[in-house]
Amino acid sequence: MINLAIVASHPIQYYAPLFQRIIQESDLKIKVFYLWDFGITNQIDRGFQQSLKWDISLLDGYEFEFVSNTSKDKGTHHLFGLQNPTLTNQVLGFNPDAILLTVSYNYASIYKFLWELRNHNIPIIFRGDSHRILAKQDLKSKIKRLIIAKIFQNFAACLYVGKANYDYFRYHHVPEHQLFFTPHAIDNQRFSDANINLQEKVKLWKQELGIPLDSQVILFAGKFEEKKCPLDLIQAFIHAQLPSVSFLLVGSGVLESAIQDFAVQNQHIYLAPFQNQSLMPLTYAMGDIFVLPSYGASETWGLAINEAMCMGKPVIVSNHVGCAADLVKPFENGLIFEAGNVDALTDCLREAMSDRNRLKRWGEESKKIIANYSYDHVIAGLKQALKAVLK
C-alpha cells in the first residue's frame, strides 16, 4: 500500500471525482490536504463576480483535511493568498511515501513547504498545466526560465496534461524520463449519463429564453471576462449573419453589462445567468456547438471543452486555448482559429453552421476523442510516475 499525500489549493469539481476514483485502487491510499475552503462555503468568485458554493459534493468518498490558511486575503489570485504554516507537519503526520502537488508552486505556502521538505527524502510529484503558446524571448523571460527550471528540480517527476504542457516542462529542462502523461480530464461519466433524456428540458429552457425551437444554437458558457473574449464572439456572430441560428451566452462576470447591451440590440443573442455544476449538462445540451475564443496565456487548458465534448458537441477554440492541439481536430470535431482575429472566428462560425449533418458527425467524433481523456488514464500515468520515483 502506497501512502500518497495530495496537496490541493481547494476543493475543485474536476479533482474531487478523481480522488474518489483513486481510492478504488487497492494499492493506493490517499489523503488530500486543502489549503483553502473555496467551493464548499459561500464566497465571492472573482471571475463570476458573485458569491457561489458548488452544488455537487466535493468532499465525499476520500480522506482529506483542511490546513489553516492565515492569509488576510485568501485565494489563488496572488502569491500570499495561500499561507498555511502547519502544512508540512500535517502532511508528515500522514507518513507519506510520496507527495503529489496539484496546486501551483507559486504560492508562499508551497515555497515554504518545498524548503522544509528538502531533507526528508520524500519524492514530490508535480502536476501542472502551464504552456508557452505565447512564448517570449526577452531578458525577463530568460531569467524566469532559469528560476522555474531551478524550482522544478525539487520534483522527482512531473505530470503533464497535454502537448503544450509537455513542451512547457521540456523548455524548463525537466528530463523526459521524469515526465508522465496524465491527461486533463473531467467526470466523463457524469456528463455522458446526464446527456440522456435532456431534450425535453432543452425545449422548455428554449421556450423560457425565447429561442426558436428550430433554431441552431451557438453556445458560450463561462466567466464573462476579457481573457475569454465573449465580446469577440458576439462580434463574429453578428458579422456572420447566420440564418436560423441563435447565440446563447451563459454565465456572469465583469463584461455582463456590455453583453446585455448587445443582447438588447440583437434579437438572436440570448443570455442566461450563471449555472451551478448540477445544471451544466443541461447548459451544454442547449448548444449545437460550443465556442471558447480565449486570448492570452492564462487559458492553460479549457476544461469546458472536455465537458462539451462529453456531451457530444463539436467545438471551436482559439489557438491560445491549451487543449487545442490535443482535443480539437480541424474538420473532424471542430475548428481552430487565430486568437483575437474576429474575421477568422466569423469564418469558423459560417463554416461550422453551414452543414447540420456534418455538425452532428463532428459531435460524435468529439465523444470518441474525449474517451481517451479520462480519470482512468490520469491514474495510469500517476501510477507510472509513482513506480519510477519509489524504486
3-class SS string, 4-54: EEEEECCCCCCCHHHHHHHCCCCCEEEEEEECCCECCECEEECCCCEEECC
In whole angstroms, give the CA distance from residue 226 to residue 339. Answer: 13
What would the grid cell of residue 233 be?
464572439
For 7-11, 82-86, 188-192, 284-288, which range has the lowest pLDDT when averaged over its residues? 188-192
In whole angstroms, give the CA distance from residue 305 to residue 19. Answer: 21
Which pLDDT band, with edges at 50, 70 and 90, does 20 fall under?
very high
In whole angstroms, give the CA distance from residue 52 to residue 279. Answer: 14
Confidence (pLDDT) at 197: 81
Residue 52 has pLDDT above 80, yes or no: no
CA dihedral over 308, 312, 315, 321, signed as positive or negative: positive
In whole angstroms, give the CA distance from residue 262 to residue 98. Answer: 52
> CB–CB of 4/386 below 8 Å?
yes
Confidence (pLDDT) at 194: 78
373: Cα within 13 Å, side-chain hemisphere: 26
Residue 296, classed as helix, strand or coil, is coil
In whole angstroms, give the CA distance from residue 52 to residue 44. Answer: 6
Residue 44 has pLDDT above 80, yes or no: no
> CB–CB of 63/31 below 8 Å?
yes
Residue 129, classed as helix, strand or coil, is coil
Which pLDDT band, with edges at 50, 70 and 90, does 149 fall under?
very high
> CB–CB of 275/54 below 8 Å?
no
Which pLDDT band, with edges at 50, 70 and 90, does 58 fall under?
very high
Q: 237: which residues sit within 8 A by CB, 6+ positions away?
A: 218, 247, 268, 269, 349
168: Cα within 13 Å, side-chain hemisphere: 24
> CB–CB of 3/12 below 8 Å?
no
Domains of the chain and any CATH numbers: 2-186+373-389 (3.40.50.2000), 188-370 (3.40.50.2000)
Which pLDDT band, with edges at 50, 70 and 90, does 386 fall under?
very high
In whole angstroms, give the CA distance from residue 185 to residue 129. Answer: 12
Partners of 292 in beta bridges: 317
Residue 117 burial (CB count, 10 A): 17
Confidence (pLDDT) at 367: 96
Residue 207 has pLDDT above 90, yes or no: yes
In whole angstroms, give the CA distance from residue 313 to residue 363. Answer: 4
What pLDDT, in 10s, does the model give residues 118-128? 999 999 999 99
In whole angstroms, give the CA distance from residue 283 to residue 249. Answer: 10
Of residues 211, 194, 213, 191, the one with CA closest to residue 272: 211
104: Cα within 13 Å, side-chain hemisphere: 15
What would the grid cell of residue 37 be?
475552503
In whole angstroms, give the CA distance from residue 206 to residue 213. Answer: 7
What pLDDT, in 10s, does the model give residues 95-114? 999 999 999 999 999 999 99
Mean of the per-residue pLDDT values of the chain = 95
Residue 331, classed as helix, strand or coil, is coil
In whole angstroms, give the CA distance from residue 373 to residue 375. Answer: 7
13: alpha, beta or left? (left if phi > 0; alpha if psi -120 to 50): alpha
Cα separation values, 330 from 197, 259, 285, 337, Å = 29, 29, 22, 10
CA 353 to chain CA centroid, nearest Å? 26
